[in-house]
């Protein structure tokens, strides 16, 4: 029986681990001014991983304005590609969705909702340097070995205590030395700043609770059987 309990516990832990998204959403609280996190972007060209194309982006929360309805950030990107590649935009998803966005600095166009290229799909907000859409275009952005920085602001329909961010992605163009095409994207993973304000998705908690509930059920059944055997022995 002890082996069964251990097996159930191991299964519950495994399910909980598998349920946690990678990466978990970054949650920015309205009072957490100065909080920053870094995202590592790995290139994808023609649907295949392209490690020669990459970037690092750092986001810093600068506080709220507009009576708590607008969240303000600073951004800084390093294009650390090892081949010719131009970083021309970035995007992410938020919860809740913003009703407005503005950007300054290296990128000068903002869009609420749009379709990201290379088969990535829809995003909640994106920023580009030219092109007229989330897909980018023109000659804006900056090449490998260079940095770009600025600020952006996201407005929401009501006062928000916190906002979560996930699905970080960048746009690369003018790529050379990589098979599959001359444009691509960078898929982001949070590599710094995940603590103390990140959280697994709700489904992860449900999986964890379900697993520990299973363990509790096994323990209760074992206890009842032990008690019944003791009574029978009398």
How many Å from the N-terminal Cα to the C-terminal Cα in the chain? 23
CB–CB of 132/116 below 8 Å?
no
Burial degree of 20 (CB within 10 A; 0-12, 13-18, 19+): middle
CA atoms within 13 A on the CB side of 226: 8
Q: What is the domain extent for residue 124?
A: 22-199
Tokens of 35: 């909080």
Please indicate, yes or no, whether residues 118 and 186 belong to a single structural domain of this protein.
yes
CATH number of the CATH domain containing 138: 2.60.40.1170
Please indicate, yes or no, whether residues 110 and 195 belong to a single structural domain of this protein.
yes
Please indicate, yes or no, whether residues 119 and 151 belong to a single structural domain of this protein.
yes
Please indicate, yes or no, whether residues 15 and 27 belong to a single structural domain of this protein.
no
Please indicate, yes or no, whether residues 72 and 120 belong to a single structural domain of this protein.
yes
Q: How far apart are CA 117 and CA 114, in angstroms?
A: 10
Return per-residue pLDDT of the chain as tens, 234 residues.
544 544 444 444 344 434 434 446 899 999 999 999 999 999 999 999 999 999 999 999 999 999 999 999 999 999 999 999 999 999 999 999 999 999 999 999 999 999 999 999 999 999 999 888 999 878 899 999 999 999 999 999 999 999 999 999 999 999 999 999 999 999 999 997 754 444 444 554 455 455 555 555 555 555 455 454 444 455
pTM to 2 decimals?
Answer: 0.75
Please indicate, yes or no, whether residues 167 and 186 belong to a single structural domain of this protein.
yes
Please indicate, yes or no, whether residues 118 and 216 belong to a single structural domain of this protein.
no
Tokens of 66: 């507009």
Positive or negative, the CA dihedral 79, 80, 86, 92 is negative
How many domains does the chain contain in total? Answer: 2
Please indicate, yes or no, whether residues 92 and 180 belong to a single structural domain of this protein.
yes
């Amino acid at each position: 029986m002890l082996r069964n309990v251990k097996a159930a516990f191991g299964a519950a832990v495994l399910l909980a681990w598998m349920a946690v998204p990678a990466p978990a959403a970054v949650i920015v609280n309205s009072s957490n001014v100065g909080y920053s996190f870094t995202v590592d972007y790995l290139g994808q060209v023609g649907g295949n991983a392209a490690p020669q194309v990459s970037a690092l982006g750092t986001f810093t929360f600068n506080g709220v304005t507009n009576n708590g309805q607008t969240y303000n950030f600073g951004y800084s990107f390093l294009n650390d590609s090892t081949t010719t590649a131009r970083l021309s935009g970035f995007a992410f998803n938020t919860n809740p969705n913003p009703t407005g966005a503005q950007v300054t600095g290296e990128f000068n166009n903002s869009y609420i909702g749009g379709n990201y290229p290379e088969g990535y799909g829809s995003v909640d907000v994106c920023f580009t340097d030219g092109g007229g859409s989330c897909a980018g275009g023109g000659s804006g952005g900056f090449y490998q070995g260079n940095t770009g920085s600025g600020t952006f602001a996201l407005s929401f329909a009501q006062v928000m205590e916190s906002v979560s961010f996930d699905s970080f992605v960048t746009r690369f163009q003018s790529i050379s030395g990589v098979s599959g095409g001359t444009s691509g994207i960078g898929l982001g993973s949070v590599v710094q700043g995940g603590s103390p304000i990140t959280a697994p998705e709700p489904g992860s908690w449900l999986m964890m609770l379900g697993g520990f509930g299973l363990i509790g059920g096994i323990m209760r059944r074992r206890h009842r059987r032990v008690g019944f055997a003791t009574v029978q022995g009398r």
